[in-house]
Structure 1
Amino acid sequence: MHSVAVLAFDGISPFHLSVPTLVFGRIGADGDPSTPYEVVVCAEQPGILSTPSGFDIHVKHGLDVFDNAGTIVIPSWIRGTGISPRLHAALYRAHANGARIVGLCLGAWAVAASGLADGREITTHWASADDLARAYPAVRVRADTLWSDLGDIITSAGVAAALDCCLHLVRHDLGSRAATDLARALVTAPHRSGSQAQYIPVAVPDAADDDPIEHAMLWARAHLGDAIDLDRWAAVALMSRRTFTRRFRDRTGTSPQQWLLLQRTDRARLLLETTDDTMDRIAADTGFGTAVSLRHHFHRILGTSPAAHRAMFRRASVA
């Protein structure tokens, strides 16, 4: 069982606290004893903590739960403040023991204050990024991505991006099927790439039928195994190639080609986890064409080979 310690503090927003407890705690819901996560909420000073929402919360556990945690989540923080020496020491000790440290939204402030991300890149809410960068110049701060995964340090933008980040960790730990099923239960998007822009300055039409880019995205997902030419794809949206490319980037924050590549990679990941299909068959079904192309793009995007990914989830299913 993977222990997830979620750090609360006096004045924390209940919504931010609920994100990791809902995502990781919902795995194995309905009394399933095989749940792979054990979620424990803790605080530097256990007891009654206030919230800005008109009610208090009672936290029973202290920082000692960090000692056995595989993941430590800081779901928010007080903007512009550092961390205490006690919390600093607890984070360093847990990190040295192999725990991954996750800072969601303003939780990136605590991550930066710990020094664990010095010389590295983290993500936070766009409205806080400039202040964070000035406060901790040893850290490179990104305000243009949803989340960043360095392996041992994971950070994200706020609100919906925090959900995306936690689902990404479930996907990493348990595979695409588990993450997709959980997203369906939570009624949220099953996968948004961490490289996607935080802020898209174009409103989405109220009705999906009136959104030609959404229609084109649905069409592409249904034809991932086909050779999707950009001109043909633009024609589905009844647009010129140039207009389609511009509108697509406005709508998603990325290019059509990059979005399509991520969709194909994610489909290949699901097939590797859930079928015994050969690499050639998976490459054909996902539009990569050849196993060589599949291996190249899979490794470039996910940092591992298709065979290694399949083997990892076969070992996990046996365990």
Structure 2
Amino acid sequence: MRDETLLAANGLNVSLHGRDGAVSSALDNISFDLRRGETLGIVGESGSGKSLLALAIMGLLPSAASAEGRIAFEGQDLLALSEDEMCQVRGNRIGMIFQEPATALNPAMTVGDQVAEGLVWHRGMSWQTARIEALRLLDRVRIPDARRRAGTYPHEMSGGQRQRVGIAIALALEPALLIADEPTTALDVTVQAEILDILDELVREQGMALIFVSHDLGVVARICERMIVMYAGRIMEEGATHAVLADPFNPYTRSLMHAVPHRLERGQRLAAIPGAVPRVAHLPRGCAFSDRCPEREARCHEVDPPWISLPVGRGSRCIHDPGRGTSR
């Protein structure tokens, strides 16, 4: 069962349509797969396309976006489903934890009923039975005094507690795939560690696959077996997390790792990648990272870098071939 492919994106492209009629490529030829029970990290700077990829999988792209290609989940092409059909998948077979629980939760509904709602709609439970199950789930995600807190509203809870509620909602139906879109970004370090512990425990206990979107390499190293590095809507590197972090092939991955905060001597500046991720409407010619890359050559500004497949499931998009793979 572990080797069975659960999700496979093949040639996924997402375009953004401007008011002036201009079309920009926000995701470009994204291809990857995910096995049942596997944990996959998607990393990159803000604007790299990480969250847009998660929204494309969930069928929640904004109205100005359109998707082409294929996203196969449990044998179904998600891009070919109607909204009614997608509603049967969303929440039921694929759960999602959003980055900001304050906006993801319904402010006019108690948190207990928000956890119970999916059980009523997808499992056909009565509200009474669903609320009992909701209490168990709130307790499982370590909400203190879950019975009392179930009757409160999101604004009466802290950010960490709201995120726990979001996790309970996402896991209530025991989906085959959980997508967590930077679920710890707005939390302090102590609460972040608690949330990661909860996620790790529940994913392993229920045997579900996890896609964890983050800009934090340390978090991904802690919770994910495999990782994808994205930049300007493209996959730049892929492989087992420990292998990528121990020996990154792509200059962008190396730049991200150099920018990770570490112990500094007095007067020493924190390393940073110069510049910013280009807007999708103004991508440079050649490699999108070329203007910021410390290893760039003249041809980097002219040549679209190929994807180079490497041994043991690794790959990199760069004109600098490590000499162990073939481009495609």
Using the size of structure 2 for normalisation, the TM-score is 0.29
Instruction: Using CA pairs under 8 Å that are at least 6 residues apart, name the structure with larger relative contact order, 1 or 2.
Output: 2
The structure with the largest helix share of the pair is 1
Using the size of structure 1 for normalisation, the TM-score is 0.29
The structure with the largest strand share of the pair is 2
